[in-house]
Amino acid sequence: GTIARINQLSRAARAAGAPVVLVQHESQGDYLRRGSRPWQLADGLETAPTDLRLAKTTPDSFHKTELEGLLRGLGVDTLIVCGMHTEFCVDTTCRRALALDWPVLLAQDAHTSAGNAALTPQQVIAHHNATLTGISSFGPRVQAWPTEALVAPGGPLAPAATA
């Protein structure tokens, strides 16, 4: 499932020496209040002590957070994006990353949605995979990749070969 693919991406990123940043939504209200049950990371999501964690209060992972400075300080040149909610946080964060001049590799099978009155979760995901990859006006682009291709030998998250 989606959590297993996110874990696969995170493990591969750590093995490749790439930073893993967990951006967690929170709010002042009861739902998603820091420490509440709905606020907790998804069951089964693997984390490591080296993972970086940031809180956000809008769908934009960059808005009023330290994410941009953190990524620039680490010398990150491309973002791999996965997570929850496709139509809110994933979409907005991808678009903002493009506006900040980062290319995005969207893990096309590692983001998820609850759907809505008009579209099933699968339709929301397919729509955003297609829509985000069509944006060209920023310069950098979103490319949708399956998790297996991202972590495969020769893929963006393959560990660097040692001589």
93-120 pLDDT, tens digit each: 999 999 999 999 999 999 999 999 999 9
Q: Nearest-CA neighbor of 80 among 152, 158, 9?
A: 9
What's the rounded mean pLDDT across residues 23-38?
A: 85
Q: What is the spatial distance between Cα 155 and Cα 41, in angstroms, rounded to a whole number?
A: 27
- Tell me if residue 110 falls in helix, strand or coil: strand
Q: What is the spatial distance between Cα 83 and Cα 77, in angstroms, rounded to a whole number?
A: 20
Strand partners, 108: none
Q: Which fold has domain 2-151?
A: Rossmann fold (3.40.50)
> pLDDT tens digits, residue range 139-161?
999 999 999 999 999 999 987 65
Higher pLDDT, residue 163 or 35: 35
> pLDDT tens digits, residue range 66-100?
999 999 999 999 999 999 999 999 999 999 999 99
- Reading the block at residue 79, the tokens are 């973002």
Residue with tokens 């893993």: 20
Residue 22 has pLDDT above 60, yes or no: yes
pLDDT mean across residues, the chain: 95
What does pTM read for this prediction? 0.94
What residue spans define the domains of the chain? 2-151
| CB-based contact 102:93 (threshold 8 Å) | no
- The predicted structure's pLDDT at residue 161: 53
Residue 59 CB contacts under 8 Å (≥ 6 apart), including other chains: 25, 85, 88, 89, 91, 92, 93
Residue 42's identity, in one-letter code, is A
Confidence of residue 32 (pLDDT cuts 50, 70, 90): confident
